[in-house]
Chain A
Amino acid sequence: MEDFSVFDIIGPRMTGPSSSHTAGAVRIAYIARRLIGTEVSRVHFTLYGSFAETGKGHGTDKALIGGILGFTPDDERICHAYEFAKEQGVQVDFTYSDEPADHPNTVKIEATDVNDRMTEVVGRSVGGGNILITEINELGVELSGEYPTLIVRHMDEPGVIAEVSHVLAQLNVNIAFMRVFRHGRGRDAYMCIETDTPVTKEMQTIIRQLCKGITELFAV
C-alpha cells in the first residue's frame, strides 16, 4: 500500500490546468535546467503523444519554457513564460511530433547553454504531477526527481561505484535509491543516486576531487 502524505491529497500547490500536462511538464524541464546547471540560450522541445495532441490547450508549451527558465510548478510566472524567455534572450521552439512514443506524455528537450554546451533530456509525465526522466544525452536512465539526485558520469571500471558511495558515507549523506547505467562494457556509464539530503556544491567538489573515475557530475 502506498504511503500517502495528506499533502498528496490536499496539494500540491500548482499552476493549472493539468497535473500531468502542466505541473509534470514544468518539473521535467526544471530538472533539465538543474542538470544543465547554468542558463540556457537556445532550447528545442519535441512533444509526443498526448503532449503533442492537447498540450497547447493545457499550456504544456508555457510549462516547459517556465521549467527551463528555472520556475517550479507553483510559480505564477509560468503563464507568461514566453515573455520571460524573450526578456532573458532564450530562444525557444517546438515540434509537435506525430511519431509514436513509449509513453503518451513524452517530451524531448534539446538545450544549448550559455557555454555552447548541448544537453539532451527525454522525460515523461506519468500522472498526478509525477515524472520520470528516461534519457540524458542518449543514455537511458530512470530518475523521478522526488529526492535530491546526484548523477555521476564515470568510466565503467571496478571500484568507481564503491569510491563514490564511500565518499557520500563520509559526508554523512544517506543513499535512498541508486541505479547504474552504461553504454557498454568498459565504456561510459552513469550512476543515478537519490539521497535523503541534498548534496551541496562543496560536497560535489569533494566527490570530484576524491573519486578518480568520474568524468562529469550533476546534482538535481
Chain B
Amino acid sequence: MQLVDAFESGTKLCEYCTQESCTIAEAMIRREVSRGEMMRDAILKEMQENLNVMRESVRIGLEEHVETVSHLSGGEAMRLFRYAKYDPFSGGNTCRAAASAMAVCEVNSSMGRIVAAPTAGASGILPGVLIECGIERGWTDEQLVQGLFTAGAVGLLFAQNATISGADGGCQAETGVASAMAAAAIVELSGGTPEQSLDAAAMTIKNIMGLVCDPVAGLVECPCIKRNALGAANALLCADMVLCGITSLIPFDEVVSAMLQVGRDIRKEYRETAKGGLAATPTGKAVAEKVKRFQKYAGEY
C-alpha cells in the first residue's frame, strides 16, 4: 500500500498502518509531508499552535464571563463544569469534557478565537475531549498533538468520502464527524489499534446518524452548543466500548457511505437553512424575529 492511496478509505489506511507498523497519526503526518508545502517540523509546530488555541478557548469559556453576540447564550459551560464536582450522573470526566466542549462553543459564539474542527459549529468536541482526557491521564502536549493528527485523518476520510458540511449533510456531518474524530484520537492515544480507532469513529456516527442541522435564527448557538456537549459524551462512550473489546458490526467505510446517503436524503429545511426542526418551532421563530430586529438597528448593540 502506497502512502498516496492510503487515505482513499479507512480499510486502506489500516492496511498502510499495519504494513508500516505505524499509527494513524504517523500516517497522517507522512501524508502532510508528502504534499510538499511544509516540512515535518513545521507541520508538528503548526498543529501544536492549534492545540494552544484550543486549550486557550477551553480556558476562556470556563473561566471568563462569555457573552454571545446575539445574547442568546453564555455562562452555561462554566455552570456545568462547576456542577461536575457534585457527583454528576454522567460521571466527572464526561461532565467536564462536555462542559469544556460547550466552553469552546460559547467562545466561538462570542467572536472569540477557536480552531475549526472540522467546522466552527462543531469546534468544541475535539478540544473538550482531548484537553479533559489529557488532564485526567497526564498526556503530554506531544501526545495530544499526535491525537490531533489521528483526529485529522478521520475527519479527512469523511471530508473526502462523504461531507463535513451541515449545509450538505446536516448536523451528523458536523458534530457527528467531530465526535468520530475525538473518539478515534483518544482510542489511539490509549494504545488502541488503527482498526479500533476507526471502529470507535464508526460507532459515534451510527449513534447520531440522521441528526439534522436546525439552528434557531440561523445562529451557531441553539442547539449547536449543547450538541457539542453530547458529541463529547458520545466520543467518550464509544472509545470505552471499543477499548473493552466491542466492535462495530458495520465497518467504518460503510458507515461513511451510509452517512453521506442519509445526508443527501435529509430535506433542505433540515440542512442549515433554519427553516425546519427547532428553528421552525414557535419559540424558535420568535427568537428569529428578535434577532432580525437587532439587524435593523444600526451600529453596535
Contacts and interface: CB of A to CB of B under 8 A. Distances in A.
A89 interface: no
Interface in A100-132: 127-129
Interface in B178-218: 181, 217-218
A13 interface: yes
B107 interface: yes
A86 B149 CA distance: 42
A11 to B, nearest CB: 6
Interface in A159-206: none
A11 B50 contact: yes
Contacts of B292: 53
A64 to B, nearest CB: 13
Contact of A10 (B155, B219, B301): B155
Nearest to B51: A10
A16 interface: yes
Nearest to A19: B120
Interface residues of B, number: 60
Contacts of A15: 111-114
Contacts of A216: none
Nearest to B71: A57
A63 to B, nearest CB: 8
A5 interface: yes
A7 B152 CA distance: 8
Nearest to B293: A56
Interface string B23-66: 00000100110010100000100110110010000000000000
Interface in B119-152: 119-121, 123, 126, 148-149, 151-152
A85 to B, nearest CB: 11
Interface in A1-38: 1-19, 22-23
Contacts of A57: 69-70, 217-219, 291, 294-295
Nearest to B46: A7
A52 B295 CA distance: 8
Contact of A12 (B116, B218, B219, B300): B116
A55 interface: yes
A6 B219 contact: no
B112 A16 contact: yes
Contacts of B301: 56
A127 B165 contact: yes
A8 B32 CA distance: 11
A16 B294 contact: no
Interface stretch (B10-18, B156-164, B242-250, B263-271): B156-164
Interface residues of A, number: 42
B117 interface: yes
Contacts of A56: 69, 291, 294-295, 301
Of the candidates A17, A76, A82, the one having the most CB atoms from chain B within 10 angstroms of its own CB is A17
Contact of B156 (A4, A18, A59, A76): A4
A6 B153 contact: yes
A54 interface: yes
A74 interface: yes
Contacts of B274: 54
A128 B291 CA distance: 23
A13 B50 contact: yes
A75 B69 CA distance: 17
Given A3-B35, A59-B111, A54 B119 contact: no
B115 A10 contact: yes
B220 interface: yes
Contacts of A18: 120-121, 220
B163 to A, nearest CB: 11
Contact of A128 (B111, B165, B296): B165
A149 B220 CA distance: 32
A58 B219 CA distance: 7
B299 interface: yes
B109 interface: yes
Contacts of B296: 96
B120 A53 contact: no
B218 to A, nearest CB: 4
Contacts of B46: 7
Nearest to B126: A10
Contacts of B31: 6
B117 A9 contact: yes
26 contacts: A1-B8, A4-B156, A6-B153, A10-B116, A13-B53, A13-B115, A14-B115, A15-B113, A16-B107, A16-B110, A16-B111, A17-B109, A17-B110, A17-B111, A17-B121, A23-B120, A53-B295, A54-B295, A55-B295, A56-B69, A59-B69, A59-B111, A62-B111, A79-B111, A82-B299, A93-B298
Please give me the 5 A-B residue pairs with the lowest Cβ-Cβ distance, nearest first.
A16-B108, A79-B111, A9-B155, A6-B152, A54-B218
